[in-house]
Amino acid sequence: MSFDLAIDTEPEAAGPEGDFPPGTILVGRYQVLQVLGRGGMGSVYLAEHVEVGRKVAIKVLLPQWSQTDSIVRRFRAEARTASTIGHPNIVQVFDAGALPDRRLFLVMEHLAGRDLEAELIESTSVEPPRRACNIMRQIALALGAGHRAGIVHRDLKPSNIMLVPQLDGEAVKVLDFGIAANTGLIVAGAERITSPGSLMGTPEYMAPEQATNMPARPTFDVYAMGVMLFEMLTGDIPFSASNAFELLAFKLNRPAPSVDTRRPGLPPALVKLIADCLATDSAERPPDGDAVAARLDAILQDMRRESLILANKLGPTPAGEASESRLPRLDVPAPVIPTPSTSMPSASPSPAATLAPLRRPQPRYRAATQVLALLTVLGLVTVVWLLLRGPDSPPPQELAAVTPPAPAPVEPVPVPKDISPPPPAVEPPPTQPPVEPPPLEPTPPPPEGTSARPTTKTGSRPGGDAYLSPRCQRLRTSAEEARRTQRWAILRDYSRQRECWASTAEARKLETKALMELGDFTGCMSVGKGLKDQEAQGWLKLCQKRVGG
């Protein structure tokens, strides 16, 4: 497939803000159904091919970006790279070109799912660990296919990974090969996209040597896979810093922390794999994505073997319960436990599947419960016997030993169930007048120079200490990246989660900026009203001018 980005001459009717309303036919073959999202660089539409009826996602850049040479080269690279690799774990690109107003567009397969970044923001980590290994295995397979073709992604991060639910498990798709680099294995058509000295990638996931002018290598992506696997298992990244250059300096001069220090109990082979991927020296890392996928296959096999052994210890399957329901299912075939007469077969992995929950073992106190139940039954039998026996029946040996002899002229009577005397009557204590509690003293004000923490939601921290949680820290990091990359719709959505910010004013300022960039000037004025920040005041004045007030 070739993409020449030729300009189509057929006119399209764009809306006042450059959006295409539902029903618009793009380049004569794609009917717009709805807007999937908007950002600082353009919009994404859900459309349908008018001839074959296939639903697709169409990315359309804004005019100012469509006229920037570096962006045009990245756009062309994204189209050609994805089609060159052609792997089921890489998003398919069907078409590309330019509209009559010279805006570039890219037609891709429509994925009904959400990205890994949204998953981590909601759940902090990916559970259970075998699911994190499953996801990373599919990522490694996709990158391995690219590495064999001589292509390095260079910007691997959670927002570029789509998780797509399927009937037989969960499919993973790698997106955005726009800054992918050719390692020299494919010479024809190779082109440098970035300028010398520029940082291309996301610093949190970049390899230490990626900040230098070293040519792109597959070990760039291997390091990013290590960071993402570390993050999926712990909810945090290995290194944190105040800016990108400080972060890269940490990576160059400090060894990465072991994942076992932040989440004990992981399989040793998995801990070793992550440590190898995060090695400062690229020569100590796995050479490419295929090597990472092979080690993850072995780790998943071990996980399944341990699950089978545990299931065998639980004993036979109860009647009416399917035997497979007690065993976890992985994306690899069930191994054969080696015996003196058998050996382990080598089988290829199958698509990912969801693990079934393990059955709980029997409690240790089961024997004590049975003894107690037996004693209870014996006691009930004794009581029934006492009630049913006649007055002339002799008492049991135990009761006869403790029952006092009856007087001679009195006939024997049945032994009552409870021979203890009734408790003596207890006189109620004299009524005393209630004691009045001492008056509450007013709380002294905090010392000068200190501030008391607000206790209500009306304080400066709208969510109390929730903004310190790993989820909120991740959300603020993603919001900062969205602002840096001018993804205003994402910044708007993140800033509306007020509980994740130290103050309401900070979140409102970011939302005001996002609304201004998105053209929602009325909303900009409403959200930013009352902000004292000088920068925010400038945005409010601009929004007021646009509204015409």
Cα separation values, 121 from 237, 272, 467, 484, 498, Å:
13, 26, 13, 19, 14
Is the bond into 361 cis (omega within 30 degrees of 0)? no
CB atoms within 10 A of CB 455: 8
State which H helix or E strand residue 109 sits in.
strand 104-109
Contact yes or no for 528/76 (Cβ under 8 A): no
Question: What DSSP character marks residue 511?
Answer: H
| Residue among 19, 69, 101, 155 flagged as catalytic | 155
CB atoms within 10 A of CB 130: 22
DSSP string, 84-102: HH--TTB--EEEEEE-TTS
Tell me the C-alpha distance between 68 and 234, whole Å: 40
Contact yes or no for 131/329 (Cβ under 8 A): no
Q: Which residues pair with 38 in a beta bridge?
A: 43
Tell me the C-alpha distance between 332 and 329, whole Å: 8
Is 157 known to sit in a ligand binding site? no
As a three-state string, the secondary structure of 132-200 is HHHHHHHHHHHHHHHHHCCEECCCCCHHHEEEEEECCEEEEEECCCCCCEECCCCCCCCCCCCCCCCCC
Helices and strands (DSSP H and E) totals, the chain? 16, 11
Strand order from edge to edge, sheet including 42-49: 25-26, 30-38, 42-49, 55-61, 104-109, 93-98
- To the nearest 10°, the Cα dihedral for 123, 127, 132, 134? -130
465 is catalytic: no
Question: What DSSP character marks residue 478?
Answer: H
Using alpha carbons, select from 165, 158, 87, 141 the residue that is nearest to residue 353.
Answer: 165
Using alpha carbons, select from 88, 140, 135, 94 the residue that is nearest to residue 115.
Answer: 135
Contact yes or no for 90/197 (Cβ under 8 A): no
Residues with active-site annotation: 155
Which residues are part of a known binding site? 59
* Positions at the binding site for ATP: 59
